[in-house]
Amino acid sequence: MSGFAAVLRKDLRLELRSGESTLALLALSMLVLVVLVFALGAARMRSVDAAAGALWVAMVFAGMLGANRALLAERDNGAIRGLLLSPLDPSTLYAAKLCAALIFMAVAEVGAVILMVLFFNLDFDASMARLAPILVLGAIGFSALATLLSAITGRTRGGDMLLPILAVPIFVPALIAGVKASAAALAGAPFESMGDWLKIMIAFDVLFVTAGYLLFEHVVGGE
């Protein structure tokens, strides 16, 4: 736990000093939502389906950027080799990087939800509380997947372009479940009606987190 806390504290301290990742994630989320609002037109400005889809598109793009930023410092100066030679277990390093990416993504999600409510003329009501656990499940799963894939693509030329090509198709089932559950939550539906979608998201979260925890050592072992 001391190694986990040290790596996570270092990432958060760097972010507090610069603010680059948070500002980039918020700017990207706002850009995606603005583009989608204009693309969908006034006819669907209060459609919960359109709002949920726009929110998850923004979240996916922000998640990819957040995962990349969490591993950027170690890749740029070769510090990953030092971490691998230290007593720190690679799975602990993965957990710390996952938490950092999750925190960056959570900040972007809060901003994206506020912008979604404003742009799509929705109301701040109980539906926002129902939306929170759905977004948490989505953020955990996508952060776990993107962190693992970012470690893989970071070792290749043009890895930043390769990450979305790999991450989005794998995440599609969880993405569909998240959009459907979010639309139901925004429409005021009870949690019972979202049961199947939430089960899919939980299953993918367990799969992605477990896969990352087990495979991260082999992915970064050749650094």
Q: Is the predicted pLDDT of residue 213 greater than 60, yes or no?
A: yes
Contact in structure between 150 and 68 (CB atoms under 8 Å): yes
* Cα atoms in the Cβ-side hemisphere of radius 13 Å centred on 91: 6
Q: Is the predicted pLDDT of residue 45 greater than 80, yes or no?
A: no
Distance from C-alpha of 45 to C-alpha of 126, rounded to nearest angstrom = 20
% of the chain with per-residue pLDDT over 90: 5
Residue 179, CA distances (Å) to 60, 116, 161, 175 in order: 12, 14, 24, 6
Percentage helix, strand, coil for the chain under 3-state DSSP, each rounded to 5: 85, 0, 15
Question: What pTM does this model have?
Answer: 0.80
Work out the average pLDDT over 79-95: 72
Q: Is the predicted pLDDT of residue 206 greater than 90, yes or no?
A: yes
% of the chain with per-residue pLDDT over 70: 78
Which pLDDT does position 148 carry in this prediction? 82
Output the CA torsion sign for 2, 135, 200, 33: negative
Total domains, the chain? 1
Distance from C-alpha of 150 to C-alpha of 142, rounded to nearest angstrom = 12
Contact in structure between 150 and 69 (CB atoms under 8 Å): no
Which pLDDT does position 192 carry in this prediction? 77
Which pLDDT does position 221 carry in this prediction? 59
* Cα atoms in the Cβ-side hemisphere of radius 13 Å centred on 77: 5
Work out the average pLDDT over 21-50: 72
Distance from C-alpha of 151 to C-alpha of 139, rounded to nearest angstrom = 18
Residue recorded with tokens 């994630």: 25
128-154 confidence digits (pLDDT tens): 788 888 999 988 988 888 888 877 776
Q: Which residues contact 210 (CB under 8 A, 6 or more apart)?
A: none
98-113 confidence digits (pLDDT tens): 888 888 888 878 888 8
148-188 confidence digits (pLDDT tens): 887 777 666 655 677 778 888 888 888 899 999 988 888 87
Q: What residues make up the domain containing 200?
A: 2-220
Which pLDDT does position 203 carry in this prediction? 93
Residue 28, CA distances (Å) to 22, 50, 110, 112, 128 in order: 10, 18, 13, 9, 22
Mean pLDDT of the chain: 78
What pLDDT band is residue 85 in, cutting at 50, 70 and 90?
A: low
Helix axes 90-119, 126-153, angle to 10 degrees: 140
Work out the average pLDDT over 44-73: 74
Q: Which residue has the higher pLDDT, 91 or 74?
A: 91
Q: Is the predicted pLDDT of residue 24 greater than 80, yes or no?
A: no
Q: Which residue has the higher pLDDT, 46 or 63?
A: 63
